[in-house]
Amino acid sequence: MLDQRLLRDNPELIVEQLGRRGMTLNLTALQLIARQERDLEQQRSDLQAEGNRIGRQVGELIRGGAAPHSPEVQALRDRGNTIKQQVAVLEEEEKSLETRLREQLLAFPNLPSPHCPDGAGEAENVERRRWGIPRMPVAGEPALEEHWQIAERLGLIDSERSVRIAQSRFVTLLGAGARLERALISFMLDQHASRGYREMLPPILVNSASLTASGQLPKFAEESFSCADDDLWLTPTAEVPITSFHRDEILAAEQLPLKYAAYTPCFRREAGSYGRDTRGLIRLHQFNKVELYWFCHPDESEAAHAQLTADAEAVLQALELPYRVLDLCTGDLGFSAARTFDLEVWLPGAGTYREISSCSTCGDFQARRASIRFKDGKKTRLLHTLNGSGLAVGRTMAALLETGQQADGSVRLPQALVPYMGCDRLLPEA
């Protein structure tokens, strides 16, 4: 959420910065609401102050021996009642203005960071670096398979029966496939723990307040599955429960940064993606993800962003998966993010880079929505939040299958996974 004070003091900055995202705004109406709301508050609190004075006077008179229904006391009572009615009217107006103001402020995305490259969309994202040598098809050898072909051939996933259990875009992992998924989750969590992250296993049903705090509500309700009877939703990312883990807290400066690594299943409707990535592990309604999350001091969030991204990259490097890093342009930036580095892993079978992690700094945007602050000396300030996948597990498996595929039909696994899998190769089931 944007700062109300910014709306009041420097609305041009909002118009200019959201303009970088391609939005055209006119804030005059909203500013008017903000101003009216403040005037009403002033009037109301003045009236309440008078009411409080009258209340005290009545108390003093009665304790001083005045009859509770003497004309003197009665006059004060009448005045008190009048004030009460006036306050009620003002309060109602004030509340409706406040609600409108908040609704609109909640619908604005974050301001992009000054470092975020300008651009209209995906095509203008800026590649920052590459790691590893992408595997390419070799002339004379059989074509490289896509991960879903390998997975089906090796009996690692069953998509068709999953439709019977749920619907399309759900998969069931089997045998070595299920084991590999579990191994990857353990491997990622262990690696992050060794780099200073505290492991967390949060609830994956979250309430509306939690989705609002991290920015998925009110604008993106159609992206999440809901259990409407209970005001609970299936979390679309661990970012949601982790943000709200510290909602409404004031942390000590010495506690910062707080770094969490959480494994959760994630649930997304994937509305509007009909027909895209329909096979395999790339785009599912339910997928596993290990999420990295920092709560940090505002002065340190830029360095934290680099570190968090490096921590996610370290997983890819340990798994020997070539990737590139994109600096998302303003037009491709997510709602809550001020700046985002996407990690895209190379998929040799598909012959393309695919997003496998999105590492964002949100500045104080989520902290303001969630009211998460820290003590900076005597002052209480909003802290900064950052999140990134470390990594999306299904997509990691897809990359491993495509990268490790061998001419004999088996899949070679990276050394780092051997302790977790108990083997260095996936073989066709006998």
Active site residues: 268, 283, 355, 358, 395
Regarding 49 and contact with RNA (CB under 7 A), the answer is: yes
Outline where 226-324 has alpha helix (H). 239-245, 301-318
Q: Which of residues 233-262 bind RNA (CB under 7 A)?
A: 250
- Span of 36-44, 112-120, 345-353, 411-419 interacting with RNA by CB under 7 A: 36-44
178 versus 250: smaller Cβ distance to RNA: 250
Interface with RNA includes 384 (CB under 7 A)? no
DSSP run (H or E) holding 410: none
76 makes contact with RNA (CB under 7 A): yes
Q: Provide DSSP, 359-399.
A: EEE-TTHHHHHHT-EEEETTEEEE-EEEEEEEEEHHHHHHH
Give yes or no for residue 46 binding RNA (CB under 7 A). Answer: yes
Distances (CA, A) of 215 to 64, 193, 264, 370: 57, 27, 18, 9
Q: How far apart are CA 382 and CA 146, in angstroms?
A: 46
Instruction: Give yes or no for residue 84 binding RNA (CB under 7 A).
Output: yes
Site size toward RNA (CB under 7 A) is 31
Smallest gap from residue 34 Cβ to RNA (A):
9
Task: Report cis status (omega within 30 of 0) of the bond before 241.
Answer: no
401 lines the binding site for RNA (CB under 7 A): no
- Which letter, b or e, does each residue of 148-167 get, where b requires 16 or more Cβ atoms within 10 Å of its Cβ? bbbbbebebbbbeebeeeee
Contact with RNA (CB under 7 A) among 6, 11, 15, 48: 48
Strand pairing report for 198-200 and 258-267: parallel
52 binds RNA (CB under 7 A): yes
**∠ at Cα 392 (282, 256), nearest 5°?**
155
**Contact flag: residue 70 with RNA (CB under 7 A):** no
Answer for which of 24, 63, 254, 422 binds RNA (CB under 7 A) is: 63
Residue from 42, 70, 273, 406 in contact with RNA (CB under 7 A): 42
Query: Are 363 and 113 spatial neighbours (Cβ–Cβ below 8 Å)?
Result: yes
* C-beta of 51 vs 215, nearer to RNA: 51
Inter-axis angle of helices 176-194 and 301-318, nearest 10: 140
* 269 DSSP 8-state letter: -
Q: Does 54 bind RNA (CB under 7 A)?
A: yes
**Residue (55 or 334) nearer to RNA, CB:** 55
- For 190, the enclosing helix (H) or strand (E) is helix 176-194
Instruction: Choose between 44 and 369: whose C-beta lies nearer to RNA.
Output: 44
- Residue 282 CA to residue 345 CA, distance in Å, equals 12
| 60 scored as a contact of RNA (CB under 7 A) | yes
Nearer to RNA, 56 or 115 (CB): 56
- Least Å distance, CB 97 to RNA, is 12
Q: Applying CB under 7 A, which part among 60-68, 138-146, 159-167, 419-427 lies near RNA?
A: 60-68
Looking at 51, 241, 363, 388, which residue binds RNA (CB under 7 A)?
51
Tokens at 171, concatenated = 């998969």
Decide: 255 and 294 in contact? Cβ < 8 Å.
no
Q: Are strands 384-392 and 379-382 parallel, antiparallel or unpaired?
A: unpaired
Does 5 bind RNA (CB under 7 A)? Our answer is yes
Query: If you search the block for the tokens 């661990």, which residue do you land on?
Result: 238
Applying CB under 7 A, the span of 110-118, 298-306, 354-362, 372-380 interacting with RNA comes to 372-380
CA 422 to chain centre: 35
Q: Which amino acid is at 157?
A: I
Judged by CB under 7 A, the residue of 59, 121, 218, 265 near RNA is 59
Which residues from 341-370 bind RNA, rule CB under 7 A?
none
Q: Kindly state whether residue 58 participates in binding RNA, applying the rule CB under 7 A.
A: yes
Which CB sits closer to RNA, 122 or 248?
A: 248
Least distance from C-beta 178 to RNA, angstroms? 19
30 forms part of the interface with RNA (CB under 7 A): no
Q: Which residues bind RNA (CB under 7 A)?
A: 4-5, 38, 41-42, 44-46, 48-49, 51-56, 58-60, 62-63, 68, 76-77, 80-81, 84, 250, 373, 375, 380
